[in-house]
């Protein structure tokens, strides 16, 4: 795809917005990457938009994972079992999505966006066991949940953090802070697997990917001080952001149905 100057600037701005939202709100921000590519940057192919955004999400998650690992919040054994089980699921899910008509796929993507928004509106509790460790029983619970989550993440071309963190908490009993940090392992793996699957079909625009990542880095830096300012009103800000995602989901569904 030939990128004009306007498209390059729009891609940088889109990446910056996604990076900013990820810094401020965490999981859920990356779900806007695909709609931004389609309706702000001007990408015409839904599969190309999903494949390219999945690659950018994987890189953003990897950067966050490094920071969380340094802080000691990642429960590596649990995270690797969950992510490893979901890796095959993400490949299956992305293969199913590749075989689907782009318009129909975006309708399902709008449904996924609505699910992300609803999950962000639900109250979050950080109760759990900070000293959780992997056991055979936990492995038996983690693997199937990871496989199903990977399937959904691959199909929708999103990181799936809004599913992964609750899945980790339900299967292991770890705290929300540990689950959010550990989920980045799976987000990185699922995003990489999905984007490579799309790339094999020529549905990743690497120059566009680079612009998204570059803009995302700038947005992440800008989002850190903003997140501190909103700390006292985090719940209200999160609900407002969820409402915005619902509106975008409705717009995506309308555009797909009208096309």
CA atoms of 76 and 63, how far apart (whole Å): 16
Residue for token pair 């997140």: 227
Q: Sign of torsion, CA 139 95 188 127?
A: negative
Q: What is the count of structural domains for the chain?
A: 1
How wide is the angle at C-alpha 71 spanned by C-alphas 215 and 173, nearest 5°? 105
CA atoms of 152 and 32, how far apart (whole Å): 17
Lowest-confidence pick of 46-50, 221-225, 240-244, 251-255: 221-225
Whole-number average pLDDT of the chain:
87
Range of the domain at 45: 5-258
Burial class (CB in 10 A: 0-12, 13-18, 19+), 257: exposed
31-58 tens-digit pLDDT: 888 999 999 999 999 999 999 999 998 8
Residue 149 has pLDDT above 60, yes or no: yes
User: What pTM value is reported for the model?
Assistant: 0.87
What is the chain's length? 259
């Amino acid at each position: 795809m030939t990128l004009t100057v306007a498209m390059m600037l729009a891609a940088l701005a889109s990446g910056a917005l996604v990076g900013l939202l990820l810094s401020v709100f965490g999981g859920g921000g990356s779900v806007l990457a695909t709609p931004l590519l389609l309706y702000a940057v001007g990408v015409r192919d839904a599969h190309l938009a999903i494949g390219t955004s999945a690659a950018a999400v994987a890189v953003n998650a990897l950067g966050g994972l490094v920071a969380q690992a340094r802080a000691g919040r990642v429960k590596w054994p649990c995270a690797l079992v969950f992510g490893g089980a979901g890796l095959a699921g993400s490949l299956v899910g992305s293969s199913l999505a590749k075989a689907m008509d782009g318009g129909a796929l975006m309708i399902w993507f709008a449904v996924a966006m609505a699910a992300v928004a609803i999950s962000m509106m639900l109250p979050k509790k950080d109760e759990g066991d900070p000293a959780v460790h992997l056991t055979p029983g936990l492995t038996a619970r983690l693997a199937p949940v990871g496989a199903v989550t990977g399937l959904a993440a691959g199909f929708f071309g999103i990181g799936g953090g809004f599913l992964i963190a609750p899945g980790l908490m339900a299967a292991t009993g770890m705290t929300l802070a540990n689950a959010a940090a550990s989920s980045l392992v799976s987000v990185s793996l699922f995003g990489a697997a999905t984007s490579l699957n799309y790339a094999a079909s020529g549905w990743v625009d690497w120059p566009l990917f680079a612009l998204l990542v570059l803009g995302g880095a700038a947005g992440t830096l800008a989002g850190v001080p903003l997140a501190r300012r909103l700390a006292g009103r985090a719940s209200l800000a999160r609900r407002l952001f969820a409402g915005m995602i619902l509106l975008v989901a409705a717009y995506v569904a309308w555009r797909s149905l009208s096309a």
